[in-house]
Chains A and B, each alone.
Chain A
Amino acid sequence: MKEFNFKELGQRFVQLLVSLFILLLVTFVIGRVLPTDPVGAIVGELADPAAFEAMRQRLGLDLPLYQQFWIYVTSLLHGDMGTAILTGNPVTQDLASAFPATLELATLAVIISTVVGVPLGMAAALYRDTLIDQIARVISLVGHSIPVFWFGIVGLVIFYAGLSRVGGPGRVDIYLEGLVEPRTGLLLVDSLLAGDMEVFWNAVSHIILPACIPAYSAMAYITRMTRSFTLEQLNQDYVTAARQGRVLGGHCHRAYPAQYFGAAGDHSRHFLWQPAGRRGGHRDRVLSARYRPIHDQCADDWRHECRARLDADHWPDLHAAQFRGGPRLCLP
């Protein structure tokens, strides 16, 4: 197992702190540069200068910028994020009330994208350069290119307005709101805990569309990654050896004993080497003299040979052929 690298972890951590600090600095500077006037917004346009000045001092806006920044950072470290302009609530409270819904949505989206994306990527790699691969490629490219905010609108227009299959805005329909006691804040979990299936299915119908839409973008990425990882692994020696074993083991042994010794060389040709995308017909052309010794030997004693040939160097032709994407070893 790889040794855990504490030094690297420490470097990463310091780097994270530095980037967070710079992000704070940037947001602070931008907040101060903004051409809005918080004092004016509180005391009103027509307040007299004394009240204006008093409020300015109360907000700490008369202090030098570095002191303001210090106050900003220390209060952030104490968990005080200030008051949201839009709602008037403390920012932490607003974040806390929105967080469970976000968590629920994100978790569901990640699950959907993985469940669809990984098998799709594997299928694309296994059936490389076939129609399946092309379809998977187009699906993932479209996922990369689609504007999510537009896709959401289209989803709402079709499935909510058009077909009425899913719930619209909000986490549940209005008449079901507040029926379930909030324990975890995750509506799906809470309604299950309360045993209220009506709320549960209603919440499902509300969350399914918003979860699927970002899931599609994520899926595009996952499919692409899975495909390239799988392709990488498929080119590894152990997979080649396993395939060889299965090809000969599954088929040659069925022909045992009459053909195994007699026509084994011929027999193995039927499924060992085929030109990519073609089955039968052209196999003899592909079975050039260069590959022939490999078949005959393998068919003679596949167990022994496979073990001996696990090393890629012993099998240069096979590997070269695979990497070139020429005639490839095909599963029967």
Chain B
Amino acid sequence: MSNVETLPGRGGFGRLFGRMATTVRLSLSKLSREPLGMVGFIVLAVLVIVAIFAPWIAPYSPTAQNLPQALQAPSWAHWAGTDEFGRDILSRLIHGTRITIQTVLAVTLIVGPVGLIVGVVAGFVGGRTDAILMRATDIVLSFPSLIPALAFAAAMGAGLQTAIIAISLTGWPPIARLARAEALVVRNTDYVAAARLYGASPLRILFLYIAPMCIPSVVVRLTLNMAGIILTAAALGFLGLGAQPPAPEWGAMISNGRKFMLDYWWVAVMPGPAILITSLAFNLVGDALRDLLDPRHVRS
């Protein structure tokens, strides 16, 4: 961690942590003035807890069949009813949280760094590298996001991994564009010029001086993206290209309930609010984060 000490304007860990604590405190006090964003944060926290402790929270097993109890309407025993195999829908939803959070995290962990690196390199190096990288980005950006995902999932065989890779394939260009725009601004600042003067290598400037400055807006964009990722993942599941049965994937559960939606509506309807709430929470948090992290953005 010797890098930290040589960074300009930072004297030792104590001051660094002090400043970080101040930032966090400021952010929290700003957040308390954003009631909708606060709600989003709380919902997400609850979802993460539910995902981690799913086996202890869920009242029944998500996969155990209980045919005498098939297609029971919502009741005190089964809050969200049961599906055609007598599986408790609420328990399946609770276990489905794991799949959703897993998908979102995996896609974000792929898309974020890839987009950041492509964008920052394009913005910092400029010239022909920039042109080539940005044309590639534009081309991928012009694909409608679900179609390549469909084709890819069809070619590789359906499954959760395929869905994650397929969504990631079309997910990075917006991040790259954003990171490039930020890098274009940051590379002309005085502290970068100073770093270059005292002999910092291009790679060092790229990753220690420019990339960190692009992270806040990238994080905001990623959070807003997560809402879209959830919808795309659920759509893939709905089309049978996501996690395979008997895995309790929300989209697949809706698709499954479609067969008897007119007589037993709860099978198809119940997973919807779960998707809606999760996606909404990410949207709210993304909005709030944008207000907190991006001082130039006037809330509009």
Contacts and interface: CB of A to CB of B under 8 A. Distances in A.
A33 B186 CA distance: 44
Contacts of A107: none
Interface string B268-284: 11011001100110111
A204 to B, nearest CB: 22
B257 to A, nearest CB: 8
Contact of B269 (A16, A30, A154, A228): A154
A22 B151 contact: no
A157 B264 CA distance: 10
B3 interface: no
Contacts of B284: 141
Contacts of B154: 30, 34
B209 interface: no
A95 interface: no
B231 interface: yes
B207 to A, nearest CB: 30
Given A147-B234, A153-B269, A19 B143 contact: yes
A49 to B, nearest CB: 27
A153 B155 contact: no
B185 to A, nearest CB: 21
Interface in A206-244: 227-228, 231-232
Given A15-B135, A15-B138, A157-B262, A150 B280 contact: no
DSSP class of A's interface residues: helix, strand, loop or mixed? helix
Contacts of A154: 269, 272
B300 A228 contact: yes
Contacts of B257: 153
Interface in B2-43: 36
B286 to A, nearest CB: 10
B139 A19 contact: yes
Contacts of A147: 231, 234-235, 238, 251, 254, 272, 275-276, 279
B225 to A, nearest CB: 12
- Per CB-CB distance, the 6 closest pairs between chain A and chain B, nearest first, are A145-B279, A150-B272, A145-B280, A228-B300, A30-B155, A19-B139
6 contacts: A141-B280, A145-B231, A150-B272, A157-B262, A160-B262, A227-B300
Interface of A: 15-16, 18-19, 22-23, 26-27, 30, 33-35, 137-138, 141-142, 144-147, 149-151, 153-154, 156-157, 160-161, 227-228, 231-232
